[in-house]
Amino acid sequence: MAMKENGHKNGYRVIGTRPIRPDGVDKVTGRAVFGADLHLPGLLYGKVLRSPHAHARILSIDTSAAEALPGVKAVITAADLPQVADKVKSLGESVGNLRYMSENTLAREKALYHGHPIAAVAAENIHVAEEAVNLIEVEYEPLPVVLDGREAMQPGAPILIQGLRTDELGKLGSEPTNVAAHIQHKRGDVEAGFAEADVIIEREFRTETVHQGYIEPQNGVALWNDDGHIHIWCSTQGAFAVRSQISDLLRAPISQVTVTPLEIGGAFGGKINVYLEPLAALLSRKAGHRPVKMTMTRAEVLKASGPTSGSWIRVRMGAKKDGRITAAQAELVYEAGGFPGSPVGAGAGVILAPYRLDNLQIDGYDVLVNRPKASAYRAPGGTNAAYAAEAVADELAEALGMDPIDFRLINAVKEGDRRADGPMLPRIGYIETLQAIKNHPHYRQPLEGPHRGRGVAVGFWFNWGGKSSVSASVNEDGTVNLVEGSTDIGGSRASIAMQLAETLGIAAEDVHPQVVGTDLVGYNDVTGGSRTTYGTGYAVHALGVKLNEIMRELAADLWDVDVEEVRVEGGVFSAGDRSITFKELVAQGSDTPITASAATHPKDAGPAFAVHCVDVEVDPETGKVTILRYTAAQDVGTAIHPSYVEGQIQGAVAQGVGWGLNEEYIYDEEGHLLNASLLDYRMPTAPDLPMIDAVLVEEAPTPGHPFGVRGVGEVSIIPPPAALANAIHRATGVRMTALPMSPSRVMKAMIEH
């Protein structure tokens, strides 16, 4: 496409600009309706009773005293939840067995983690509900607890689920176990590769359970109507994913379930699985079909919504003197929590992905422990994996006396290479992203001063396309109402509207996007996997093309020419020497209303790469790490709304820094979570972070996408802990092989060094 005068890069008019987000005013004025803001006539309030034990058999539950409390309208236990059979269910970013999902919703025979729901109450107000919950008497038989993945793999470890058998590379084992699955990727001859190496580095790493830390706790309102129809209002990444879970868990036909997504205050993967919604629905039915609202407290969010896995990882890499990696091997043990389903599969795919390898072996284990069931967290499984691999790569580069970026350039994957986990890579911008850091003023300026160090690390993430449905109607004034089903978590209403505006050649402000519920739009996959701007953008492009076709016909009618003669470019319709803009053409009037819809499922979303560089200073007396400067370069394809792309990168870095430096679930020996508050679960605050410089690398538009969009939401959470560990090493001489690298741990390591 030719550059237009005053046009943006690639000739775009809307893409690459920074319009104000359509949801902005309502959010800054407090008018936006989030899940907990919804109020319906006759609303009841629900509360969950949670297990005080990390592992216990439930011997009996007596709800009579709670039921007798004035103001209590319903009490439910697992007995009220339909029994569901084993069935594997995919929710986009996570896959799970339906029976386990049901048991995670309400414990049946056993409580498997501290905070596991046991029963729930609906009452006239939340205070009565809280009091009623305390009146439920549960008799438990406490069982031995196992919290560490590798201990849970040992013979004799307490078994969480008696019927579980290991899926051993596709074959089912015969013994009771906590190992739900063993997966493997293998290529070439690893031992021969190591024999060729001049230097081999092998290290073991431990990372802790961490939480997404979204601001808005889980919530949901449910009305199970007298006619059998279930209506759910909630804050979710995917209304259709909630609908299918409700349908499966409550055994209600899909057509009897309506889900309306409300505004969402962050999710990062944590709001795909349902927790409260099925309970609220059951309570609603039992309470005489009154609507029931449930919200989690922060402590409940931390204890019982899905965090991401703690892990143990071993990485071994060997290289020749010239820097070429000859073999690499990784073993990953991911803690799934009380039920199978850690992101070890993704971790195994991420761990060696940036490296071109002829000889490799990756083994991953999905292991049950008495912690909350893990759910997706931004590039699920990727951050811990890269932390291990990137620290080893750094050490290898150092041993070879090579610049860490040059070492990665020598070994970088590019188009046509096979990823460690198999698939062939399409056009990617990894090498350009490495160059972006190598040539950045930050990297070129030497870091001076005592106790200071610079670290770099890279990250890979798969990205995803997914299914999207959209529809639009053109208003008489030439503006367009856009209806979509992708919940907007990070500014996607803006980025989707902009792609439709670009396709139609109208202003971004002339597209009015709206996210609607399951009855009002076709199926949409969840907002996750960095897919929405890519996949739903793909759909609105198709939609715009259809609208343009209708408009061409209108122009043809107007000018009384053949439709083939009408051309359209940049919102201007022309035939011969006549031309008319989109808006002018609409103003001419149309006999039939102008509407269209589109549904798409693009299959080859391009993967994303990030390269980060960080400078730190370590207090030699306290071990506290201060970040002096942070630069994050990312292969972004085409930045639709650059501010929101930068925002995604900065947010991902902030989370990665928290994961690297201070965040961790702290349990006592009996498996009680000790730090279930945001005071004690230490996410970074603004004073803990420097300005994060986001460098957008737009040199490799994704092939197959009309605007070259590449998912940008996740990959930048992957490098930060590794980059920090590498920087801390340069500053102190210490290699930190466990996260978080909190002051006490860094201090201890420095003293022992």
Partner 1 sequence: MQAFDYARVSTVDEAVRLLAARNGDARVLSGGTDLLVALREGRDSAGLVVDVKGVPELMEMFFDRGGGLMLGAAVPCQRMYSDEPIAQAFPGLMDAASLIGGVQVQGRASFGGNLCNASPAADSIPALIVHKATAVIAGPGGRREVPVEEVCVAPGRTQLQPGELLVQLRIPAPEPRFGAAYQRFTPRNEMDIAVVGVGAAVRLNADGDHFEWARIALGAVAPTPLLAAEAGDALAGKAVSEAAIEEAARMAQAAASPITDMSGTAEFRRRLVGVLTRRTLVAAIERARRAGTHWNADLR
Binding site for partner 1 (CB under 8 A): 127, 130-131, 299, 621-622, 624, 661-662, 666, 674-675, 678-680, 682, 684-688, 742-744, 747-748
Quick one: 272 or 739, whose CB is closer to partner 1?
Answer: 739
**DSSP H/E element including 346:** helix 344-350
Supply the minimum distance, in Å, between the C-beta of residue 302 and partner 1. Answer: 13
Q: Least separation, in Å, of the C-beta of 679 and partner 1?
A: 7
For helices 430-438 and 404-411, the axis angle rounded to 10 degrees is: 160
> Distance between CA atoms of 381 and 369, rounded to whole angstroms?
17
CB of 308 to partner 1, least distance (A): 20
Q: How far is the CB of 753 from partner 1 (least distance, A)?
A: 15
The pair of structure tokens assigned to 717 is 């959470």
Question: Tokens 């036909």, residue?
Answer: 253
User: Closer to partner 1 at the Cβ: 2 or 679?
Assistant: 679
Secondary structure (3-state) at 657: helix
Which of 97, 63, 85, 119 lies closest to 273 in space, CA to CA? 97
Least CB distance from residue 61 to partner 1, whole Å? 21
In the complex, what is the shortest distance from the CB of residue 665 to partner 1, in angstroms, rounded to a whole number?
10
CB distance 566 to 130 below 8 Å? no
**Residue placing its CB nearer to partner 1 in the complex, 178 or 295:** 295
Query: Which is nearer to partner 1, 31 or 127 (by Cβ)?
Result: 127
Closer to partner 1 by Cβ: residue 566 or 741 = 741
Residue with smaller CB distance to partner 1, 512 or 682: 682
Torsion sign (Cα): 28, 30, 36, 40:
negative
Q: Are strands 199-207 and 311-319 parallel, antiparallel or unpaired?
A: antiparallel
Identify the burial level of 654 via C-beta atoms within 10 angstroms of its C-beta, where 0-12 means exposed, 13-18 middle and 19 or more buried. Answer: buried
**Interacting residues of 293 by C-beta distance below 8 A, sequence separation 6+:** 36, 38, 43, 44, 45, 46, 219, 220, 221, 280
Nearer to partner 1 among residue 204 and residue 680 (C-beta): 680
CB count in 10 Å sphere of residue 124:
15
Output 64 or 744, the one with its CB closest to partner 1: 744
Residues in the chain: 753
List residues bridging with 456 in a β-sheet: 613
What does the alpha-carbon distance between residue 125 and residue 122 come to, in Å, rounded to a whole number?
Answer: 8
> What is the closest distance, in whole angstroms, from the C-beta atom of residue 689 to partner 1 in the complex?
9
Nearer to partner 1, 95 or 666 (CB): 666
User: For partner 1, which is the closer residue by CB, 191 or 680?
Assistant: 680
Q: Phi, psi at residue 110, to the nearest 5°?
A: -135, 145
Give residue 105's identity as a one-letter amino acid code: T
Q: What is the smallest separation between the CB atom of 623 and partner 1, expressed in angstroms?
A: 8
Give the residue with the Cβ less far from partner 1, 7 or 743.
Answer: 743
Q: Could you give the CA distance from residue 721 to residue 739 in angstroms, rounded to a whole number? A: 8
Please check whether residue 483 is in contact with residue 516, taking contact to mean a CB–CB distance below 8 angstroms.
Answer: yes
497 φ/ψ angles, rounded to the nearest 5 degrees: -60, -40
Tell me if 578 sits within 8 A of 585, measured CB to CB.
no
CB of 299 to partner 1, least distance (A): 8
DSSP symbols for 737-751: -BS---HHHHHHHHH
State the minimum distance, in angstroms, from the CB of residue 691 to partner 1: 15
- 60/527 Cα distance (integer angstroms): 40
> For residues 48 and 101, which CB has a smaller minimum distance to partner 1 in the complex?
48
> What is the distance between the alpha carbons of residues 347 and 357, in angstroms, rounded to a whole number?
17
